[in-house]
Amino acid sequence: DAKTTQPPSMDCAEGRAANLPCNHSTISGNEYVYWYRQIHSQGPQYIIHGLKNNETNEMASLIITEDRKSSTLILPHATLRDTAVYYCIVRVGSGGYNKLIFGAGTRLAVHP
């Protein structure tokens, strides 16, 4: 699975958009970008994933660059409850084997 690089920490004001970047310059054509988060030692929570098109769901938006070497997770209106460690994971996503390899992630702090 491709290696990802994320900033160790970020801050965001409540109500503002939180934009979390991820670099994955060695991504292969059949690898998806997944985002999970872990809120204060709870079980990780799936957020969103994509292959090459931008994706949006009720939690967030995922913007993937045209060359697929980087992506940005957008929380449009961050709340205090979004304070968590966010993990960007790149892996083959077309069924079958499904191991997730977690890096250090980005620790997002949302403040009032």
Partner 1 sequence: NAGVMQNPRHLVRRRGQEARLRCSPMKGHSHVYWYRQLPEEGLKFMVYLQKENIIDESGMPKERFSAEFPKEGPSILRIQQVVRGDSAAYFCASSRSDGSNEQYFGPGTRLTVT
The single residue among 32, 51, 55, 69 that binds partner 1, judged by CB under 8 A, is 32
Answer left, alpha or beta for residue 110, where phi above 0 means left and psi between -120 and 50 means alpha: beta
DSSP-H helix ranges across the chain: none
Burial of 52-65, coded b for 16+ CB within 10 Å and e otherwise, reads eeebeeeebbbbbe
Nearer to partner 1, 14 or 51 (CB): 51
Please pick, from the candidates 46, 56, 76, 111, the single residue that binds partner 1 as defined by CB under 8 A: 46
> Binder to partner 1 among 5, 28, 30, 45 (CB under 8 A)?
45
Among 13-21, 23-31, 54-62, 86-94, which window interacts with partner 1 (CB under 8 A)?
86-94
Residue 56 contacts by C-beta under 8 Å, 6 or more apart in sequence? Answer: 48, 62
Binding region for partner 1 (CB under 8 A): 32, 34, 38, 41-46, 49, 91, 93-95, 97-105
